[in-house]
Amino acid sequence: MRRTKKYLISTFFVFGLLQFTNLHAQTNGDRVIAGDLADPSIIKVDSVYYATGTSSEWAPYYPVYKSADLKHWGQVGYVFDKAPEWTVGSFWAPEYYKIGDTYYVYYTARRKSDNRSYIGVATSRYPDHGFTDHGVIIAHGKEAIDPFIYNDGGQLYITFKAYGLDDRPIELLGSRLSADGLKLEGELFSLLQDSARIGMEGQSILKKDQYYYLFYSVGNCCGGGCSYAVHVARSEHITGPYQLFSGNPILFENDNWKCMGHGTFTSDEKGDLYYLHHAYNKKSSVFTGREGMLAALKWDGAGGWPTLTTVPNPAPVRSDVYDEFNGAQLAPYWQWDFRHATPAVQLTKGVLKLSGEQTADNLTGVVLTVRPTSDHFDVTTTVVNRNKALKGLVVYGDAGAAIGVGVEGDSVKVWKVTHQQRVTVKAAPVSSSAVGLKIEMAGDKGFDFFYQTGKGGWTRLSSIPDAGFLPQWDRSPRPGLHCKGSVKENAQFSFFRLQNK
DSSP codes joined into one string, 331-375: -TT-BEETTTEEEEEEEETTEEEEEEEE-TT-SS-EEEE---S-S
Count CB neighbours of 429 within 10 A: 8
DSSP state of 472: B
Question: Do 191 and 203 contact (CB within 8 A), yes or no?
Answer: yes
Enumerate helices (H) and strands (E) in the chain, giving the number of each: 1, 36
Question: Do 395 and 403 contact (CB within 8 A), yes or no?
Answer: yes
As a whole number of Å, the end-to-end CA separation of the chain is: 31
CA distance 70 to 51: 10
CA distance 146 to 214: 14
Active-site annotation holder among 39, 57, 323, 337: 39
217: nearest Cα among 174, 261, 257: 261
CA distance 40 to 96: 10
CA distance 335 to 60: 6
Active-site annotation holder among 30, 171, 201, 323: 201
Distances (CA, A) of 182 to 121, 292, 304: 7, 29, 35
Residue 152 annotated in active site: no
H/E segment holding residue 15: helix 11-18
Residue 39 annotated in active site: yes
Catalytic residue set: 39, 201
